Structure 1
Amino acid sequence: MIKKNVWLVLYATLLAFLSVSLFLKIQERNLTIKLNNHNLSADAYLIKLKDRMTIAQLDNKLQNSSKLEDVQVHYQDKKSKNITYFYGVGNFAVPPMISGSFFALADFKSEVNVAVVGKNLENKLYTPKDQSYLKIDNKYIPVLGVMGNHQGSDLDNQIFISISEQQRAKVLANNFRIVIDGKRALDKKSVKKVLSASSVRHINRKHFLIQQDSWVVSHLSEFLGLAVVTLAFLSGALLCILFARRRYLEAIFLKRDIKKFIFDDWQFFALFNGLGTIFGIIIGLLAFDITEYIAIFVYNFAVYLLTNCLYIVLLKRQIKKLNKGD
């Protein structure tokens, strides 16, 4: 009995740990999808303005609105896909940084242009002393930081620029592809009203269409991995039934109450399977840099319940067969 319990704990610990590692892969994949689209979420909106409006006028609408909070606006250059003029309000989403820092609110009030660049552009920077500069159109722009992560994405080739207040007042926002995104999903009607937009629609990006319309396609290998882990958990219940057969025959010989035997056997299975699952999750969370926990807990709890239900059904069926055999 002790060997069975130790085996079950170790088995469940390993499977739960594997499930956490697969959710880490999902987390990394989701981040890559996001970084491939300028660090914009799947809820970002592409907007078109009704009237001619400078960047400063549009930025002021956002700054003075109480309906749109923690947002970022990307004024994407139509000629150069790698250049984006950036503006943020409140606690907007920040991409992963390799060095330096991303834009702070004070940078949007700067008298000079400042930039943040992707890691593939780092070797093109001019660094005379402690400050790096990016040369664009024969002008040198101070660089605040370098974006990117260890996996690599389209963001590695991007240039984000926060232009000066003086330039904002002169440049027309209508000349750019304007995208707005919030740290939380924005209300479409509020976006349209606050920004006086003629149209507001979600970005039609292949990456996000895959993610929204078919999670399985975007995360196929991780999905298959979780399916295998689920089957392994269920197989553990089948293996434990083999141990139960011998114990049941002993219970018959000792004339024990069968209902009590089923309850006691399931109780031990549930306890040690649960302990292993908890240990595996804890080890996984300590070993990996996980930022989203809910899916991990929901998955493992659901599989735990399913495995326990299967164990009870199989145990009752096994006992029924043995009774018929007697």
Structure 2
Amino acid sequence: MNFKKIFLLFIPLLAFLGMGTMLSNIDSGHADELLEAHGLTNNTRYFRTSNNESISSFLRYLDKYYANHQLQLHLDSKYEKKQVLVWANHTVKSLPTEEGRYFSPDDFKGKVSFAVLGPATNVNLLDVQNNKYVVLGQNYYSVIGEFKDYPQVEMDKYYLSTGVDQPTAKDQLKNYRIVIDGAPNVIERVAQHYHARLHVPSFVKKHHRDRWSVVPYILMLLGAMLFGIGGNVLLATLIKRQAKLTHLHGVLLRNWVINQSVRLFLIEGALGIFTYIFLKYHAFYSADSSLVIMLIASWIIFVVAFCMTVYFLVRKDRKIVKPAKRL
């Protein structure tokens, strides 16, 4: 393999790294939004009520009339400013954690409340045999996870699960701002039941303003892909020129080109594997599968671009040779 080919192989490597980095930036942007929204969607609204009803009664009401609808609650305490109670009747979005995990549906069904901490949470903690507990008065809440640290997002809150039979559901509903995520018509009916007015949370407004913020990353990702395609076009041109210098013909020439091409594809596949291993430990992805799919798809596109270029150059040579024979 000559120096020109080695140099050109840096192009698909740089393309793989560039696309992987842009995908990480896109995923990180979404992760920041999810963390800021605490796993809620743009349908989220909030309301306040002066009702003396307990949180437990409120959850029973939701279970009775909206069990077939996907609902999620975040109850922001008026007095414990950094405390948020979380409840859902479905599998909630998995948020990026540094340690442990986020809440699962089973965490809302039992009689024990659990805690998830932000990286900057300032709360009374107790360490017992490598297990952390949030201590609030006489109550102890086992810590099951801690969020990753993102400087763009305020993460000094702590989150407690709540459920019909859990101690966190004993407090009165009027002591909380009720943030509810679900179908818009369901949210409206719940608010009407409590004679409350719905409001749009600030994170939803911000997301509407910034929803095009990932477009530059997408364009750069596509640019990196075009850069890789261009590199394979140049590699195909180089191999075609080298084929002429071999002075081989017929089956021998075809086998030589196939051999060189397969070697190139294997090397680029190895570069893709190297990129995956490198970026897995140096970049953030909400799911490793997204990086794998992108690298495999990019490799296939590069291979197709190479093959199409070789095919085009062979056809071009044949068109030039045929008139020469007639002379």
Alignment root-mean-square deviation, CA: 4.9
TM-score, length-normalised on structure 2? 0.65
Matched with 1:276 is 267
Matched, 1:224 2:220: yes
Shift of 1:11: 4.7
Matched, 1:247 2:238: no
Shift of 1:241: 0.9
The residue type equivalent to 1:242 in the other structure is L
Against the structure 1 CA distance between its residues 208 and 236, is the aligned structure 2 distance closer, same or farther, given a 3 Å change threshold?
A: same
The answer to whether the 8 A contact 1:241-1:311 is kept is: yes
SS in 2 for 1:147: strand
TM-score, length-normalised on structure 1? 0.65
Q: Which runs of 5+ in 2 are unaligned?
A: 282-287
The answer to whether the 8 A contact 2:48-2:176 is kept is: no
Return the alpha-carbon distance in structure 2 between the equivalents of residues 262 and 33 of structure 1. Answer: 55
Against the structure 1 CA distance between its residues 129 and 232, is the aligned structure 2 distance closer, same or farther, given a 3 Å change threshold?
A: closer
The answer to whether the 8 A contact 2:12-2:231 is kept is: no
The residue type equivalent to 2:36 in the other structure is N
Matched with 2:134 is 133
Against the structure 1 CA distance between its residues 23 and 314, is the aligned structure 2 distance closer, same or farther, given a 3 Å change threshold?
A: farther
Measured against aligned partners, the alpha-carbon deviations of 1:150-190 in whole angstroms (never above 9, x if no partner) come to: 5555263122133574663552269514132xxxxx65556
Identity of aligned residues (%): 13
SS in 1 for 2:75: strand
Against the structure 1 CA distance between its residues 200 and 31, is the aligned structure 2 distance closer, same or farther, given a 3 Å change threshold?
A: same
The answer to whether the 8 A contact 1:77-1:176 is kept is: yes
The answer to whether the 8 A contact 2:74-2:86 is kept is: yes
SS in 1 for 2:148: coil
The answer to whether the 8 A contact 1:20-1:281 is kept is: no
Matched with 1:233 is 229
The residue type equivalent to 1:36 in the other structure is E
The answer to whether the 8 A contact 1:110-1:165 is kept is: yes
Q: Which runs of 5+ in 1 are unaligned?
A: 181-185
Shift of 1:323: 8.6
The answer to whether the 8 A contact 1:101-1:144 is kept is: no
Against the structure 1 CA distance between its residues 43 and 320, is the aligned structure 2 distance closer, same or farther, given a 3 Å change threshold?
A: farther
Against the structure 1 CA distance between its residues 318 and 179, is the aligned structure 2 distance closer, same or farther, given a 3 Å change threshold?
A: farther
Measured against aligned partners, the alpha-carbon deviations of 1:49-92 in whole angstroms (never above 9, x if no partner) come to: 999675334423554545335x5321234787643221133432
Matched, 1:171 2:172: yes
